[in-house]
């Protein structure tokens, strides 16, 4: 079991310079994530959610505010924070096993330990038997699973996922969401998922953070107090989903039929 990290984001702001003009991408984002929590961030394109992840992972470093992991300031990339991108980004010249072991390249472990960990994680994502395959031989879903194994193999404290299933077909997506759910429960790490798919966000998250664009701000946070694994068909699930979707719709949310309040409400008129 990896140690789950506590992530604090305080008053995070970021601008991009586009042709001499300054563009506000993120405006005063504050988020507090407990260890082992699964946060889903939903928003339309352009709300800065990917930028937020890139700041947390350390690929971008120019910002105002604070990002703290376990109380320490985040500076640049580190093996304590892992990420799964929307493209699988596997190295085409390495086999599945070699790709996964990339995560352990700079880890301080004996070779045998590394090999064992690699094998463990390949089995964790359900790809046992494919250790020697090259990426060109894998389907999109399988490649993404390898990417997940690679991100987890060095047991990071926080796992970031940037629209990881966006490039896959709907059936594979559904299946991998369930897989991710299972893997997260088993590993017990803190996870942040960025997606534009509300269904996915509610299915996986303990909390759903709703962002709005231009500039990127947190609009609202919705709790998802449902037991896992979640039933997408249940009334409670649909209610939460509608709640989130309402933030993005022009029309007001459809009012559900209100249950009767008093005896006299359902008494016949005569």
Partner 1 sequence: MTASNNADLRRLLRGVTLPALLLAWWWAAFRFGWTEAVLVVPIEKVWDTAVRMSSTGVLWQSLGASLARDLAGFALGSLAGFALGIALGLSRLLENLVGPTLHTIKQISLFAWIPLISVWFGLGDTAKVIFLSLAAFFPVALNTFEGIRSVPRELIEVGRVFALSPGQMLRRVVLPAALPSIFNGVHLALIYAWLATLGAEYLLTSGIGIGNLLTDGREHLWMDQVLLGIVMVGLVGFGLNLAATRIETRLLRWRGNSTGQY
Partner 2 sequence: MTTLIANHVPAALPAVRRPRLRWNHDALRRFALSWPLPLAVLLLWSLAARFEWLPPQILPPPSMVAATFIDLMASGELPDNLWISLWRVLAGFAAGAAGGLALGVLMGLSPTAKDYLYPSFRAIAQVPSIGWLPLLMMLVGIGEALKIILIAKAAFVPVALNTYKGLENVSTRFIEVARVYRFTRWQLLTKVVWPAAFPQVWNGIRYGLTHAWLALVAVELLASSEGLGFMIVYGRQLYQLDVVLAAVVVVGAVGFALDKVLALIENHLLRWRRDGF
Interacting residue ranges for partner 2, rule: CB under 8 A:
18-21, 42-46, 170, 173-174, 196-200, 213-214, 241, 245, 248-250
Among 12-20, 90-98, 242-250, 258-266, the segment contacting partner 1 (CB under 8 A): 90-98
Binding partner selected for residue 87 from partner 1, partner 2, none, CB under the kind-specific 5 to 8 Å limit: partner 1
Binding partner selected for residue 82 from partner 1, partner 2, none, CB under the kind-specific 5 to 8 Å limit: partner 1
Pick from 23, 59, 249, 256 the residue near partner 1 by CB under 8 A. 59
Angle at 48 between CA 174 and CA 84, to 5 degrees: 45
Residue 115 as a binder of partner 1 (CB under 8 A): the answer is: no
Among positive and negative, which fits the CA dihedral 199, 204, 210, 214? negative
Question: What gap in Å lies between CA 157 and CA 225, rounded to an integer?
Answer: 23
Binding partner selected for residue 79 from partner 2, partner 1, none, CB under the kind-specific 5 to 8 Å limit: partner 1
Residue 93 as a binder of partner 1 (CB under 8 A): the answer is: yes
Question: What gap in Å lies between CA 70 and CA 42, rounded to an integer?
Answer: 24
Q: 193: which 2 tokens? A: 């998922």
Question: What gap in Å lies between CA 195 and CA 19, rounded to an integer?
Answer: 29
Pick from 36, 47, 74, 85 the residue near partner 1 by CB under 8 A. 85
Cβ distance to partner 2 smaller for residue 57 or 209? 209
Query: Nearest CA to 240 among 215, 259, 221?
Result: 221
- How far does the chain reach from its first CA to its final CA, in angstroms? 67
Cβ distance to partner 2 smaller for residue 60 or 197? 197
Among 6-14, 131-139, 192-200, 235-243, the segment contacting partner 1 (CB under 8 A): 131-139
Q: Are 121 and 101 in contact (CB under 8 A)?
A: no
**Peptide linkage before 215 cis (omega within 30 of 0):** yes
Q: What is the CA radius of gyration of the chain?
A: 21
**Which segments within 34-145 are labelled E, that is strand?**
38-42, 64-69, 72-73, 81-84
Residue 109 as a binder of partner 1 (CB under 8 A): the answer is: no
Residue 75 as a binder of partner 1 (CB under 8 A): the answer is: no
Cβ distance to partner 2 smaller for residue 114 or 173? 173
Minimum gap (Å) between residue 101 Cβ and partner 1: 10
């Amino acid at each position: 079991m990896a140690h789950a990290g506590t992530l604090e984001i305080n008053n995070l702001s970021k601008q991009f310079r586009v042709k001499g003009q300054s563009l506000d991408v993120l405006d005063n984002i504050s988020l507090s994530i407990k260890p082992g929590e699964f946060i889903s961030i939903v928003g339309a394109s352009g709300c800065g959610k990917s930028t937020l992840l890139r700041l947390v992972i350390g690929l971008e470093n120019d910002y105002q505010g604070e990002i703290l992991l376990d109380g320490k300031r985040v500076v640049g990339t580190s093996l304590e924070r892992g990420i799964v991108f929307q493209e699988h980004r596997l190295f085409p010249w390495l086999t599945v096993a070699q790709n996964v072991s990339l995560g352990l390249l700079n880890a301080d472990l004996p070779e045998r330990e590394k090999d064992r960990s690699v094998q463990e994680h390949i089995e964790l994502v359900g790809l046992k038997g494919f250790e020697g395959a090259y990426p060109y031989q894998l389907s999109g879903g399988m490649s993404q699973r390898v990417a997940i194994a690679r991100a987890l193999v060095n047991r990071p404290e926080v796992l970031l996922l940037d629209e990881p299933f966006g490039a896959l077909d709907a059936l594979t997506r559904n299946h991998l969401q369930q897989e991710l759910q299972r893997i997260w429960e088993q590993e017990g790490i803190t996870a942040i998922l960025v997606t534009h798919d509300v269904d996915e966000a509610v299915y996986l998250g303990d909390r759903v953070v709703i962002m709005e664009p231009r500039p990127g701000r947190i609009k609202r946070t919705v709790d998802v107090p449902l037991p896992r694994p979640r039933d997408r068909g249940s009334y409670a699930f649909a209610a939460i989903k509608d709640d989130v979707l309402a933030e993005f719709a022009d029309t007001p949310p459809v009012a559900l039929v209100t249950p009767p309040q008093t005896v006299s409400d359902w008494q016949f008129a005569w």
